[in-house]
Structure 1
Amino acid sequence: MNRQLAAYICALCLAALCGGGAFAQSPAQKRDADPVLYVVRDSDTTIYLFGTAHLLPADLDWFNDEVKRAFDDSEELYLEIILPGDPSELAPLMSRLAIDPNGRKLSAGLDNRQRRIVSAGLRKLGIRLEEIDLFEPWAVGMQIASLLAVSAGLDPASGAETVLEAEAKGQGKTVRAFETAEEQMTMLDRLPTDEQILSLVETLRDVDQSKKDLSDLIES
């Protein structure tokens, strides 16, 4: 796999993970959800704080009641990050950050035990280590997180940021972000390699449990 194609595939996974995908479904019945909403105000400003998830089940109805009223009452929307509509725009960034500039492969940083765990976990997801060996551990972790989320029934198009951003733009509200995609990925890229590997190994040690943990987190 060449560097440019690999970076593009990784960009697609990042876009899906952060809500840039298009896997919308039309479930027959919605499940009501009432997420926690915090309010901070002074004499002339009201701020609503709302914990979001990049991917959510398509049948979860959360954009209603207090959340919808708070949204309608707001003039601006602040998101963690705003991704470009076209995932290919992220490919140059992924090529620069997600792939080791010296050509060091993921497998080169794994000891025998870690390699067995990673290879076994990847096989459960239908992936061979050789297919993602070009990427740094943090980038592989993001791809795995995206695959686990989708396989757990979570939908990028139903993610809170995707829904809120579309609604805000439709109403002409100002949309801002706390950080850029480059800032977020640079932070991950600068993590010590051994920490990146440890996180990846723990995720792939028990793929089924990781998927369950993700589902439990969303449901909570």
Structure 2
Amino acid sequence: MHRHFVLVVTLLFSLFFSSAHADNTALKTPATSAQKSSAPQRGVLYRASYRGNTCYLFGTVHVGQAAFYPLEPQVTRALSAADKLVLEVDIRDTAMLQQSVMRHGIYPEGQSITQHLSNASLEKLKQALQVAGTPFDNVARMKPWMVTNLLIAQAMARAGYPTEQGIELYLLAVAKKENKLVQQLETADYQLSLFNGLSDAQQEEYLLENLAQLADGSAIKKGLALITAWQHADNRALQAALQELQSEQSTSAKFLQRVLLDERNPNMANKIETLLKTDKKSFVAVGALHLIGDKGVPELLRQRGYKVQKLY
């Protein structure tokens, strides 16, 4: 995964390799009124309207920590008022997640990553795995893109931001507590198929680029900068992160911009457009970068004639 860590795929890894239950510990101790009132603004929040129907659009990060919760009161009120919660992917179906990971991220029986990487790249991967404390045998059948994303998720967890504390899990816990309907904009199979669409050569480049950024610390440094921007609802910093991405020419940056953002945003806008026409009140949570810029989902909806208001 690119260093900005805005994709739900990190959640898929944590769920595949550990627990998959949406019972975020942040909900186990109810927040006091004082805590709720003092919660800072986090992320990005929009409201889209159509003929009396309302859809809130909340920008998330897919990792987290207990200190993130409770979320900003404006967000929790919007979610409580909504008839349904809509995520990029409903990660509660663990059987489907595992099938998707096996289909797109694991080589068939009899194949391994050693057959798909150069000797030099394989040696760099083994060195990175040693630093991470992950035995090579544990990842030998994983495809390069999947090993890369796993190493990044592990690095973020070591930096204090595990996927198990991600915003989506918290929102799912709230939805469960409030008996709220949950839907998804995409599927895990679709998201993982995008990574699997990279050629062997592109996957090797993707691996090497991210291994280099993990080794020199720039991946985590820039990832943490994005999280800080999210924590303070710093839209200027979020925009700067997107602009930096757009200026890069690496395989990772091009893939994130062209495929994971530009290709997916119009489809997300299509699904949200349907929600606006059929649901009185809905709450949609997607990665924050999907809501930024002239190709972001709010602007696409605005261009289609919907009323879109930025709340913060």
Q: Mark yes or no: TM-score above 0.5.
A: yes
2-side partners of 1:113 and 1:97: how far apart?
24
Matches within 5 A, 1:126-137: 126-137=133-144
Shift of 1:135: 1.1
1:81 aligns with 2:89: yes
1:19-70, CA deviations, whole angstroms, 9 ceiling, x for partnerless residues?
94678479xx997443221111122211111111221122123512221222
- SS where residue 60 of structure 2 aligns? coil
1:76-122, CA deviations, whole angstroms, 9 ceiling, x for partnerless residues?
2110111236x466444433332223733212222243233322222
2-side partners of 1:23 and 1:46: how far apart?
27
Matches within 5 A, 1:198-217: 198-207=205-214, 208-217=217-226
1:158 aligns with 2:139: no
2-side partners of 1:54 and 1:42: how far apart?
29
Matches within 5 A, 1:90-129: 90-101=97-108, 103-129=110-136
- Give unmatched runs, 5+ long, in structure 2: 1-10, 29-34, 230-312
1:184 aligns with 2:184: no
1-side partners of 2:19 and 2:163: how far apart?
4
Amino acid in structure 2 at the alignment position of 1:70? A
1:40 aligns with 2:48: yes
Q: Between the two proteins, what is the percent identity of the paired residues?
A: 26
Q: Is residue 52–residue 160 contact of structure 1 (8 Å, CA) maintained in 2?
A: yes
Shift of 1:136: 1.0
Amino acid in structure 1 at the alignment position of 2:170? V
CA RMSD in angstroms comes to 3.3
Amino acid in structure 1 at the alignment position of 2:81? D
Amino acid in structure 2 at the alignment position of 1:213? K
Greater CA deviation, 49-58 or 93-102? 93-102
2-side partners of 1:190 and 1:16: how far apart?
21
Structure 1 match to 2:279: none
2-side partners of 1:36 and 1:92: how far apart?
32
TM-score by length of 2: 0.57
2-side partners of 1:144 and 1:35: how far apart?
25
Question: Closer, same or farther in 2 for the Cα pair 1:157/1:40, shift >3 Å?
Answer: same
Question: Closer, same or farther in 2 for the Cα pair 1:19/1:64, shift >3 Å?
Answer: farther
Question: Closer, same or farther in 2 for the Cα pair 1:151/1:47, shift >3 Å?
Answer: same
Question: Closer, same or farther in 2 for the Cα pair 1:16/1:61, shift >3 Å?
Answer: farther
2-side partners of 1:33 and 1:153: how far apart?
20
- Give unmatched runs, 5+ long, in structure 1: 1-10
Question: Closer, same or farther in 2 for the Cα pair 1:116/1:206, shift >3 Å?
Answer: farther
Question: Closer, same or farther in 2 for the Cα pair 1:205/1:116, shift >3 Å?
Answer: farther
Amino acid in structure 2 at the alignment position of 1:13? F
- SS where residue 101 of structure 1 aligns? coil
1:49 aligns with 2:67: no
- SS where residue 85 of structure 2 aligns? strand
2-side partners of 1:35 and 1:94: how far apart?
29
Greater CA deviation, 96-105 or 190-199? 96-105
2-side partners of 1:105 and 1:70: how far apart?
47
Q: How many residues end up aligned between the 2 structures?
A: 209
- SS where residue 47 of structure 1 aligns? strand
Structure 1 match to 2:174: 167
Amino acid in structure 2 at the alignment position of 1:214? G
TM-score by length of 1: 0.78
Shift of 1:12: 7.7
2-side partners of 1:174 and 1:58: how far apart?
25
1:65 aligns with 2:57: no
Question: Closer, same or farther in 2 for the Cα pair 1:219/1:150, shift >3 Å?
Answer: same
